[in-house]
Amino acid sequence: MSASPPLIEVRQLRKFFGPATHPVRAVDDVSFTIEQGETLGLVGESGSGKSTIGRALLRLVEPSAGQVLYRGEDLGAASGSRMRALRRQLQMIFQDPYASLNPKMRVRDILGEALQVHGLAPGRAARQQRIAELLQLVGLQPEHAERYPHEFSGGQRQRIGVARALSVEPEFIVADEPLSALDVSIQAQVINLLLDLRERFALTMLFISHDLDVVEYLCDRVVVLYLGRVMEVGPTAELFARPLHPYTQALLAASPKPDPTVPITHVPLQGDIPSPVNPPSGCVFRTRCPSAVDACAQQRPEPRVVASGRLKACLRDDIAGMTLP
């Protein structure tokens, strides 16, 4: 008996931008899986490669190397027509709901376009009904179909973005910072909408965010990225309760819990993230790592299983056989 493949598998994904002599190493040898029904969080500082990975998963950017598999099928080997069919299963919710909605299109055309491309709800009447249904699904009114994006608030625009992603009944959604352009007061509403729809349609998600609290709330597992490399992977509750990698520890220290009885023991991050054109040798985090030793400049640590379901890319265990505080 063989287990079915994960819904999404990323294998040694690499994406370099710019000239081959000194490229931007946006994503450098990243691997992870997403099981059906799972929400995987992708966190890391600005420029760590989160959006590039999200886009590569949907083949909105062409990987420089490595593979993305959907139900075991290599997207890179899919023909044009196969990829168009697969696109229906793989959708994206963008950070800026204004920039991602064509301002010259009415909502009905924004939603109708996706339906038409995939031959869904054919015919004017069926399409109109489906659009009304989609608007209601995201908490808007059927009358909103006649309006243009600028006639909505930020939160409502993000609801339209969600409706567009869901219009084709996808299995998998990449949500790239879907809350960060919204007022804090609106964020909770959109989070609840995403939770509700995830439940209702058994969606699998990659949730990209800076906001660790939201990731902790929404995600089953988390991948921590730094300079295009995976630092740590683990189930959300365990990773937040006991981060294993010095970078994860620093990230969590930088966003302390309001609970004053929990002492902050980790050292917060010092200095700036190095340039991805010229990443440090060995471990890319070593220049900011409070635990770095000489060997960290020589050897590039790969993520390894250090406990059940938990991966960490750090040499310190290899050298000293220790668990960092």
Using rule CB under 5 A, residue 51 touches Mg ion: yes
Using rule CB under 6 A, residue 100 touches ligand ATP: no
Q: How many residues does the chain have?
A: 325
Using rule CB under 6 A, residue 107 touches ligand ATP: no
Using rule CB under 6 A, residue 50 touches ligand ATP: yes
Instruction: Please tell me the distance from the alpha carbon of residue 243 to that of residue 246, in angstroms, as a whole number.
Output: 8
Which does residue 72 touch among ligand ATP, Mg ion, none (CB within 5 to 8 A, set by kind)?
A: none
| Contact criterion met (CB below 8 Å) for 240 and 224 | no
Q: Which is nearer to ligand ATP, 14 or 127 (CB)?
A: 14
The span from the first CA to the last CA of the chain, in angstroms, equals 41
**Which positions ≥6 away from 250 have C-beta within 8 Å?**
266, 267, 268, 269, 288, 290
Using rule CB under 6 A, residue 51 touches ligand ATP: yes
Type and span of the H or E element at 232:
strand 229-235
Q: Please, which of residues 242-281 interact with ligand ATP by CB under 6 A? A: 276
Distances in Å between the Cα of 9 and the Cα atoms of 79, 185, 218 are 19, 35, 20
| Contact criterion met (CB below 8 Å) for 317 and 323 | yes
Which does residue 26 touch among Mg ion, ligand ATP, none (CB within 5 to 8 A, set by kind)?
A: ligand ATP
Q: Which stretch binds ligand ATP (CB under 6 A): 30-38, 49-57, 248-256, 296-304?
A: 49-57
Q: Please, which of residues 266-285 interact with Mg ion by CB under 5 A? A: none
Which does residue 2 touch among Mg ion, ligand ATP, none (CB within 5 to 8 A, set by kind)?
A: none
Interface ranges with ligand ATP (CB under 6 A): 17-18, 24, 26, 44, 46-52, 276
